[in-house]
A and B are shown apart, each in its own frame.
Chain A
Amino acid sequence: MITTPTTLTRDDVAHIAALAHLDVGEAELTLYQEQLSAILDYAARLQTLDTDAIPPTASVLPLRTVLREDEPSSTLPTEDALANAPAARDNCFVVPPVR
């Protein structure tokens, strides 16, 4: 059986936040550390079940590899696709320069 850590360290949480591209403040790190640890602690009960012979559920549907006719259809006009962008110019999304 897999043993799982039930408490996350502050560094763990900072690492997860970095992986998730979330800028998290110092005070929030502490709060998330407590809350995420509590949730993972609760979820640890799953480890009491023997699931070695059980396949994972990837989908509840009996459907596999659904295909459709390859028919040409209209696509979103460029101006509509750019309409919600924070910044756009010359049919492109504009992002700030990075070093």
Chain B
Amino acid sequence: MSDLCDLTLHEALSALRCGDITSVALTQAVLERILAVDNDIRAYLTLTPEAALEQAEAADAARAASQDAPLLGIPIALKDNISTQGIETTAGSKILAGYVPPYDAAIVRKLKAAGAIILGKTNLDEFAMGSSTENSAFFPTRNPWDVTRVPGGSSGGSAAAVAAGEALAAVGTDTGGSVRQPAALCGVVGVRPTYGRCSRYGLVAFASSLDQPGPLTRDVTDAALLLHVMAGRDPQDGTTWPAPVPDYVAALSLDVKGLRIGVPHEYFAAGLQPAVERSVREALQVFVALGAELVDVHLPHTDYALSTYYLVAPAEASANLARYDGVRYGYRADGSFETIGDLYARTRGAGFGPEVQRRIMLGTYCLSAGYYDAYYLKAQKVRTLIKGDFDAAFADVDLIAGPTSPGTAFRLGERTADPLQMYLADIFTLSQALAGIPAISVPCGFDADGLPIGLQLAAPALHEARMFQAAFAYEQATGWWMRRPEI
């Protein structure tokens, strides 16, 4: 096995720029790693090795002609709910098996224009609905730190690929924690940007008021680099912020003196594993040693985030997934049909997996006549209260810190029978998504079984730079990110 696939993205860029390595050698090293380990990890749904090597050759040729770009020659992986022109995009669902998008998602266009090389598409919970990647219609992905455990989800394939050296970096999507929670469980960095910071054009829609793509990387610098490429206004997504994208990498520094970090006691409630609490509290003391100040803050509606999310997100999903009708693309049930409704119902009944059906029905119920006010409208009102909690807290502090996930990676099959138990894995990542604010998960230690733990830092809307800076200072002071799984 080569060491090249264990480089960080920015280390690889420096080596490419000095001429120490070529993109072809780098891409080959990553493809060899995939060949060696992916039978055990199963991070990828689709691999495009020939196209990747062609792109690598083109990148080397461009570099030989003195060209450069922010990600020129860097092999990355994309979650399989991100549309890629000419490459099958399934969203982890049988209903989209064989679907080949005729266009690239806006973020894919940006990544390609920046010189990134696409290695393939990574596994996910079907339509990004899940917290373990076990809801993939194809197969579960395994955690590189312990293959009997889940990688988290729904971007579990992306997180596992980065942790196992099967990509230098990856892109996931975060609707209620689907980038941050698998990042924590796989010991990598994961970012949910401010809602509207990145274009959603070309993402397979789950919950449109919550969906955001975000980077999964080995370190904070890589995440800053990748988000800088992905972010920005898109005329094809009217919910993107017009604000200019700052240079996140240039803003990284070790100085956090005087930074006020809010610590909500609501994030250290019952259900938090003792090892997670210990690591997160130690991480907070690292910030104190670096000159930051810890401030008690209150987020009194934290306890309502799970209920709010699991009414709002399924409601939006039930509307978004109405498009899968077996007519224009995707799976269609066989046989003859009495009515057009039969065609829809039999196609959707056979094409969607159980968790997706559950959420469509939950959402349909919340939006149905007689129940709209009690469920959907109520949840949208509580969402206002949750957002208000953050607005009030950020009047006094710069960042809010806590655990990313209440526990470390659980065993495959452990929670599949009880959806509510599975939903609780997202308990600390839902409220930021509902409020539309950015948050990062950064490795902050390991439990007694050697499983990684994540620290979450959240910032006010559009303050990703502040979040990156604090995460960078912490990472450089501790070095947890340097530990790699033995695979």
**Is chain B found bound to chain A in the same assembly?**
yes
Q: Interface on A for B, CB 8 Å cutoff?
A: 2, 4, 8, 12-13, 16-25, 28, 32, 35-36, 38-40, 42-47, 49, 51, 54-61, 63, 66, 68, 76, 80-81, 83-87, 93, 95-99
A86 and B327 within 8 A (CB): yes
A66 and B238 within 8 A (CB): yes
Taking the nearest CB of chain A, how far is it from the CB of B85, in angstroms? 10
A61 and B384 within 8 A (CB): no
A39 and B419 within 8 A (CB): yes
A56 and B332 within 8 A (CB): no
B346 and A42 within 8 A (CB): no
**Residues 389-435 of B at the A interface (beta carbon under 8 Å):** 419-420, 423, 434-435
Taking the nearest CB of chain B, how far is it from the CB of A24, in angstroms? 6
A22 and B381 within 8 A (CB): no
- Listed A/B pairs (27) with beta-carbon separation below 8 Å: A16-B365, A21-B344, A22-B345, A22-B348, A23-B345, A36-B362, A39-B420, A43-B307, A43-B311, A43-B375, A46-B311, A47-B378, A51-B378, A51-B381, A56-B381, A57-B380, A57-B383, A60-B434, A61-B239, A66-B238, A80-B102, A84-B99, A84-B329, A85-B328, A98-B337, A98-B339, A99-B339
- Among B29-37, B129-137, B149-157, B349-357, the stretch that binds chain A is B349-357
B310 at the interface (CB under 8 A from A): yes
Among A36, A39, A84, chain B packs the most CB atoms within 10 A around the CB of A39
Taking the nearest CB of chain A, how far is it from the CB of B364, in angstroms? 4
| Candidates B308, B329, B371; contact of A85 at CB < 8 Å | B329
Since A40-B365, A63-B241 are in contact, a sample of 13 more A-B pairs with Cβ atoms closer than 8 Å, ordered by chain A residue number, is A4-B371, A19-B368, A20-B348, A23-B348, A25-B349, A40-B362, A46-B382, A51-B382, A84-B328, A84-B329, A86-B326, A95-B327, A98-B339
Among A2, A12, A16, A80, chain B packs the most CB atoms within 10 A around the CB of A16
Residue of A nearest to B419 (CB): A35
Taking the nearest CB of chain B, how far is it from the CB of A75, in angstroms? 11
**Residues 324-341 of B at the A interface (beta carbon under 8 Å):** 325-332, 336-341
B296 at the interface (CB under 8 A from A): no
A98 and B368 within 8 A (CB): no
Contacts of B308 in A (CB 8 A): 46
**Residues 229-253 of B at the A interface (beta carbon under 8 Å):** 235, 238-239, 241-242
B374 at the interface (CB under 8 A from A): yes
B346 and A4 within 8 A (CB): no
| Candidates B350, B361, B436; contact of A20 at CB < 8 Å | B361
Q: In the complex the two chains form, what is the Cα distance from A84 to B322 in whole Å?
A: 17
Residue of B nearest to A88 (CB): B328
| Candidates B102, B306, B364; contact of A19 at CB < 8 Å | B364
Q: In the complex the two chains form, what is the Cα distance from A58 to B304 in whole Å?
A: 18
Q: In the complex the two chains form, what is the Cα distance from A19 to B362 in whole Å?
A: 11
Q: In the complex the two chains form, what is the Cα distance from A83 to B86 in whole Å?
A: 11
Looking at chain B's contact residues, the main secondary structure is: helix
B380 and A22 within 8 A (CB): no
Contacts of A98 in B (CB 8 A): 337-340, 342-343
B473 at the interface (CB under 8 A from A): no
Residue of B nearest to A51 (CB): B381
Given known pairs A23-B350, A60-B209, A86-B332, the reply for A45 and B310 (CB within 8 Å) is no
Closest 10 A/B residue pairs (Cβ): A60-B436, A23-B349, A56-B380, A84-B329, A86-B332, A51-B381, A66-B238, A43-B307, A80-B102, A21-B344
Contacts of B358 in A (CB 8 A): 32, 35-36
A60 and B328 within 8 A (CB): no
Contacts of B350 in A (CB 8 A): 23
Contacts of A80 in B (CB 8 A): 102
| Candidates B195, B331, B332, B373; contact of A60 at CB < 8 Å | B195
Given known pairs A46-B304, A55-B384, A61-B241, the reply for A76 and B103 (CB within 8 Å) is yes
B378 and A59 within 8 A (CB): no
Given known pairs A22-B357, A57-B383, A83-B102, the reply for A45 and B238 (CB within 8 Å) is no
| Candidates A8, A43, A63, A93; contact of B327 at CB < 8 Å | A93
B379 and A99 within 8 A (CB): no
| Candidates A59, A76, A86, A99; contact of B209 at CB < 8 Å | A59
Given known pairs A23-B349, A23-B350, A46-B304, the reply for A84 and B100 (CB within 8 Å) is yes
Q: In the complex the two chains form, what is the Cα distance from A71 to B120 in whole Å?
A: 34
Residue of A nearest to B350 (CB): A23
Contacts of B352 in A (CB 8 A): 22
B318 at the interface (CB under 8 A from A): yes
Contacts of B112 in A (CB 8 A): none
| Candidates B98, B327, B329, B379; contact of A46 at CB < 8 Å | B379
Taking the nearest CB of chain A, how far is it from the CB of B366, in angstroms? 9
Q: In the complex the two chains form, what is the Cα distance from A96 to B347 in whole Å?
A: 13
Contacts of B380 in A (CB 8 A): 56-58
A20 and B420 within 8 A (CB): no
B384 and A36 within 8 A (CB): no
Given known pairs A39-B420, A57-B387, the reply for A21 and B307 (CB within 8 Å) is no
| B210-246 interface bits toward A, Cβ cutoff 8 Å, 1 = contact, 0 = none | 0000000000000000000000000100110110000
Contacts of A87 in B (CB 8 A): 332
A20 and B318 within 8 A (CB): yes
Contacts of B423 in A (CB 8 A): 39
